[in-house]
């Protein structure tokens, strides 16, 4: 948990928080000494050769005097030039770190504009969670960064608390559509390439930054209204899309009612031509594999799950990875809420169903600190969701949903910890909730199934 300064800084939505500590789950990711306030990425990508040429301009403020500082950048990319505040500087790039030595030391409070020119054949980063980051597809490319793949395609301070606004200029071969986070503010065709510029105003964690490139059909599911909903899909997919993905507009409305206003200007569901092991969330959009779009309703729960991440994970972001249940437990509970809302199994029935599975295969650690090897395990998702169900049964529906809406409002675009949630929940009841937190978050053994008091 970073110090008081970091907590204070996270109240200002346009600035990322200062990381005064690295995350013990990912000690090699993130950097100390400065706070990023903006990323400008200018990326050209050739699909046939998987060749990327980029210029990243990182604007930051030093919170301590800096003779040297570092950014995360994968070794598969080669750095051609680095400048700080307009002057070329010395650098060294190895073991996933770009170490930069400014000509003159930067004083505490000093501004930094770091420009990095780089390029190469991007490829995913190997991690204990498999390969993550930039990935070539059969006919395009995607980025699936979570948790530490962002440096596979741009230099960054790769820490979830280091949120910042982004501007992404992506230029690629004209037959392809390139989607990035935020609003598309300009499209310019030049020769055989098309340049698109996206402006992501709401601060974004680096793991949620993403580019998707493919030969997609663009569908508008809802234009105007509160939340425009779009889809990018292979043209051949046709009606198969409508079955599992046809109720997204209704889903956005239901979640807005339950969780509060949708936090971003629009939402897009991308379906790639390739099969994907799991769908993944990015800020403002989600990406599914063609295997998740098979003309049935079987994968609709995943559509609900990824959409719910826009509130839980993308807008309200865990400051440290050990609090991942604040993303996955909430998104999983949203699946059950959608099931009930759409006439399927009730949330209580879903909770009972998955509780029985947890009895058979309980997790080896606590939900509050699952450890890096367990943080993406299914039990974290399910136990996290049942924790919310226990809280809902204790508070009653009125107070429970008021708490959830207050949570997404109070911490919109900010970073949070489990302690923030526990503290906020306590203001919604006169009853002590300590037993729920102790049993569900801090005890390894699975508690009894929750009942209404």
In the complex, the smallest distance separating the C-beta of residue 296 from Zn ion, rounded to whole angstroms, is 21
CA distance 228 to 106: 44
CA distance 387 to 377: 16
**31 vs 181 by CB, closer to Zn ion:** 181
In the complex, the smallest distance separating the C-beta of residue 327 from Zn ion, rounded to whole angstroms, is 6
CA distance 300 to 283: 20
The interface with Zn ion within residues 328-347 (CB under 5 A) comprises 328, 331
In the complex, the smallest distance separating the C-beta of residue 306 from Zn ion, rounded to whole angstroms, is 7
**31 vs 286 by CB, closer to Zn ion:** 286
CA distance 216 to 177: 6
CA 94 distance to own-chain centroid? 26
**280 vs 351 by CB, closer to Zn ion:** 280
In the complex, the smallest distance separating the C-beta of residue 258 from Zn ion, rounded to whole angstroms, is 17
DSSP 17: P
**19 vs 181 by CB, closer to Zn ion:** 181
Instruction: Count other Cβ atoms within 10 Å, centred on residue 186.
Output: 10
**253 vs 328 by CB, closer to Zn ion:** 328
CA 43 distance to own-chain centroid? 20
Interface stretch with Zn ion, choices 5-13, 325-333, 358-366, 405-413 (CB under 5 A): 325-333
Does residue 375 interact with Zn ion by CB under 5 A? no
- Site size toward Zn ion (CB under 5 A) is 2
CA distance 263 to 266: 9
Tokens (6 digits) for 353: 């169903």
In the complex, the smallest distance separating the C-beta of residue 194 from Zn ion, rounded to whole angstroms, is 32
CA distance 358 to 412: 32
**63 vs 407 by CB, closer to Zn ion:** 407
Interface stretch with Zn ion, choices 111-119, 250-258, 272-280, 321-329 (CB under 5 A): 321-329
Interface stretch with Zn ion, choices 15-23, 294-302, 323-331, 415-423 (CB under 5 A): 323-331
**300 vs 328 by CB, closer to Zn ion:** 328
CA distance 377 to 19: 26
In the complex, the smallest distance separating the C-beta of residue 208 from Zn ion, rounded to whole angstroms, is 12
H/E element, 56: strand 51-62
In the complex, the smallest distance separating the C-beta of residue 442 from Zn ion, rounded to whole angstroms, is 23
Tokens (6 digits) for 321: 């990875």
Interface stretch with Zn ion, choices 31-39, 76-84, 153-161, 327-335 (CB under 5 A): 327-335
CA distance 210 to 122: 14
**Helix, strand, or coil here: 233?**
strand
Residue ranges in contact with Zn ion by CB under 5 A = 328, 331
């Amino acid at each position: 948990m970073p110090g008081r300064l970091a907590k204070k800084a996270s109240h200002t939505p346009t600035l990322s928080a200062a990381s005064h500590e690295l995350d013990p789950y990912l000690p090699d990711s993130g950097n100390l000494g400065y706070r990023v306030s903006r990323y400008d990425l200018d990326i050209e990508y050739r699909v046939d050769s998987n060749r990327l040429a980029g210029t990243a301009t990182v604007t930051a403020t030093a919170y301590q005097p800096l003779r040297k500082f570092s950014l995360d950048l994968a070794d598969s990319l080669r750095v051609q030039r680095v400048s700080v505040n307009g002057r070329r500087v010395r650098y060294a790039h190895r073991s996933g770190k770009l170490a930069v030595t400014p000509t003159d030391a930067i004083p505490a409070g000093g501004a930094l504009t770091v420009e990095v020119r780089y390029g190469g054949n991007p490829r995913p980063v190997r991690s204990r969670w498999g390969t993550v980051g930039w990935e070539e597809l059969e006919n395009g490319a995607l980025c699936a960064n979570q948790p530490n793949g962002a440096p596979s395609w741009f230099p960054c301070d790769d820490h979830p608390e280091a949120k910042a606004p982004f501007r992404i200029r992506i230029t690629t071969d004209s037959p392809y559509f390139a989607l990035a986070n935020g609003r598309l503010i300009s499209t310019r065709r030049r020769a055989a390439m098309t340049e698109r510029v996206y402006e992501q105003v709401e601060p974004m964690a680096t793991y949620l930054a993403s580019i998707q490139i493919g030969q997609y059909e663009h569908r508008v599911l809802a234009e105007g209204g509160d939340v425009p909903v779009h889809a990018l899909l292979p043209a051949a997919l046709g009606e198969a899309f409508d079955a599992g993905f046809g109720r997204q507009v209704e889903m956005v409305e239901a979640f807005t009612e339950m969780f509060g206003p949708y936090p971003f200007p629009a939402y897009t569901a991308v379906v790639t031509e390739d099969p994907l092991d799991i769908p993944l969330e990015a800020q403002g959009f989600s990406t599914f594999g063609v295997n998740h779009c098979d003309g049935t309703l079987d994968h609709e729960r995943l559509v609900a799950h990824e959409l719910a991440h826009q509130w839980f994970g993308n807008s309200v972001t865990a400051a440290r990875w050990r609090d991942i249940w604040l993303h996955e437990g909430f998104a999983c509970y949203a699946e059950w809420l959608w099931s009930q809302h759409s006439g399927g199994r009730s949330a209580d029935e879903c909770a009972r169903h998955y509780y029985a599975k947890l009895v058979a295969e309980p997790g080896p650690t606590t939900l509050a600190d699952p450890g890096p090897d367990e943080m993406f395990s299914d039990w974290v998702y399910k136990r996290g969701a049942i924790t919310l169900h226990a809280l809902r049964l204790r508070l009653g529906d009125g107070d429970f949903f008021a708490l959830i809406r207050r949570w997404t409002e109070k911490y919109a675009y900010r970073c949070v910890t489990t302690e923030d949630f526990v503290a906020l929940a306590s203001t919604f009841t006169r009853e002590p909730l300590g037993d729920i937190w102790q049993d569900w978050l801090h005890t390894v053994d699975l508690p009894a199934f929750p009942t209404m008091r």
